[in-house]
A and B are shown apart, each in its own frame.
Chain A
């Protein structure tokens, strides 16, 4: 599904943040991506999500070599990936329902075709009574769930989440983790970037550990 071969990354003329990163993500797998702050977790997620290019090495996403893809080709692949940002990135002028429906809207689907799906998903993540609310009046946990719902509404093959439990209390964090596990059972590969060891200890899954720019799989 995803293959990194000797990938290196540096910003501008700065030091190399990621060095010789090589790994393979299989369909239906569940991984935690961890490491100390500043280890390059977010940069690795950005590479996975094709929002930046590596300084060296090769990245294959869904069998496609990213260096050979056009802008349109990358946008097509991005639709097969869902991403949850640490800062949610919900659009304040759209309601929760409209934010969650956004990926389907940009795909050119008709609202009548996805209206029920969006409502069902919002009910599933516990936001059924908040679907007409605007993000600015949602709590941190509600925003996080809305962001997750937006990431999975398009039934992505891969879900990337950057510190998805960083802004919520442990109870909500556990609920969110169960949500990711459930999505994984439905066939979505999941990579969660976190440094919350308590959260990681709840699941017996491989960990991608970043240390000094090098990646180890434990």
Chain B
């Protein structure tokens, strides 16, 4: 109950004046403006150094959070894409002269099945093109017995019975096999799970470093404010009053510096697609796209970047309160 009462009684409107830079504070509505000069000075050398440190750490934390989120999102999309497709393979050596007719028959058969949304037979040229990255573009490809492929898109909300289709194809068409990408899916899932875990580990490390640096920098800044704490204590201020003054100051500092870092990180993500397109293309660019998708963050990704600001500001606030308690303990 005491905790809830403390939250209710907290001068939340006063926090706004702590967050907004002092030069802009005069434009705030009256109820959000500080009543008089701030007891904790808004600018000091230690405070300025802390602002720079927090801005840099927020930038790194936001960048890491956004990047991990982006990789996870594109990996999930990748797995989802793979899972919603199956491939039918026709052996080119079976019924070779009538392979086109067989392609049509198999396609018609597949189109009639429940849970299949699209059947796309690939031409012999399409199949050959798939081998071009490995064998190159030359006339000899036409001579090779390249399997013919039919790409089948399935309805993920109402999926077909893959085993049933597989058996029906085997019974009705000789040399026709179905690949549900199961093995590849399993490999991709393992890969994405590893990427996600790796990303989370990196994120945890960056956050741990951010917390350590911010706590340390806030403590240093608090040390320079020791005299203020002592004077307030001697003129009869309660621990609660002193804590509030410092919390307001350090919350404002944390939000301002955190926002600078988060906005810088968000700008980096906004610029990423353009930076990626500046490359000369080729396999590197394709791999990059495969890894991070189009290089864009969605709304949740940007919100994650700005969530970092709350964490950073909260850390500053809590550390300052602990700093006040530590100084006052010497007098109790």
The verdict on B36 contacting chain A, using a C-beta distance below 8 Å, is yes
CA of A126 to CA of B238 in the docked complex: distance in angstroms? 31
Given contacts A51-B331, A89-B230, contact A150 B235 (CB under 8 A): yes
Assess whether B234 is in contact with A89, with CB atoms less than 8 Å apart.
yes
Assess whether B236 is in contact with A79, with CB atoms less than 8 Å apart.
yes
Residues of chain B within 8 A of A94, CB atoms compared: 37, 39
Interface membership of chain B positions 30-44, coded 1 if the CB is closer than 8 angstroms to chain A and 0 otherwise: 000001110101000
B46 to chain A, nearest CB (A): 13
CA of A83 to CA of B236 in the docked complex: distance in angstroms? 10
Residues of chain A within 8 A of B235, CB atoms compared: 78, 102-103, 106, 150, 154
Assess whether B332 is in contact with A89, with CB atoms less than 8 Å apart.
no
Task: Closest A residue to B328 by CB, please name it.
Answer: A71
The verdict on A49 contacting chain B, using a C-beta distance below 8 Å, is yes
Assess whether A106 is in contact with B331, with CB atoms less than 8 Å apart.
no
Residues of chain B within 8 A of A105, CB atoms compared: 36, 39
The verdict on A93 contacting chain B, using a C-beta distance below 8 Å, is yes
Task: Closest B residue to A77 by CB, please name it.
Answer: B236
B31 to chain A, nearest CB (A): 14
CA of A83 to CA of B328 in the docked complex: distance in angstroms? 18
The verdict on B232 contacting chain A, using a C-beta distance below 8 Å, is yes
Assess whether B234 is in contact with A78, with CB atoms less than 8 Å apart.
yes
Name, among A76, A91, A98, the residue most crowded by chain B CB atoms within 10 Å (CB to CB): A91
Residues of chain A within 8 A of B37, CB atoms compared: 93-95, 98
The verdict on A26 contacting chain B, using a C-beta distance below 8 Å, is no
* Interface of chain A residues 74 through 123 with chain B (CB within 8 A): 74-76, 78-79, 83, 85, 89-91, 93-95, 98, 102-103, 105-108, 110-111
The number of chain A residues touching the other chain, given as a range, is: 20 to 34
Name, among A71, A83, A103, A150, the residue most crowded by chain B CB atoms within 10 Å (CB to CB): A71
CA of A76 to CA of B240 in the docked complex: distance in angstroms? 12
Interface membership of chain B positions 313-332, coded 1 if the CB is closer than 8 angstroms to chain A and 0 otherwise: 00000000000000010011
The verdict on A52 contacting chain B, using a C-beta distance below 8 Å, is yes
Residues of chain A within 8 A of B228, CB atoms compared: 91
The verdict on A72 contacting chain B, using a C-beta distance below 8 Å, is yes
Residues of chain B within 8 A of A89, CB atoms compared: 227, 230-231, 234
Name, among A51, A108, A111, the residue most crowded by chain B CB atoms within 10 Å (CB to CB): A51
Residues of chain A within 8 A of B239, CB atoms compared: 71-72, 75
Residues of chain A within 8 A of B35, CB atoms compared: 110-111
Interface membership of chain B positions 230-267, coded 1 if the CB is closer than 8 angstroms to chain A and 0 otherwise: 11111111111100000000000000000000000000
CA of A107 to CA of B238 in the docked complex: distance in angstroms? 9
CA of A94 to CA of B240 in the docked complex: distance in angstroms? 21
CA of A108 to CA of B36 in the docked complex: distance in angstroms? 12
Q: Which residues of A contact B (CB under 8 A)?
A: 49, 51-53, 71-72, 74-76, 78-79, 83, 85, 89-91, 93-95, 98, 102-103, 105-108, 110-111, 150, 154
**Sampled A-B contacts (13; CB under 8 Å):** A51-B234, A71-B239, A71-B332, A74-B332, A75-B236, A78-B236, A85-B234, A89-B230, A91-B39, A94-B37, A102-B235, A105-B36, A108-B241
The 9 closest A-B pairs by CB, nearest first: A79-B236, A106-B237, A93-B41, A103-B235, A78-B236, A75-B238, A51-B331, A89-B231, A102-B235
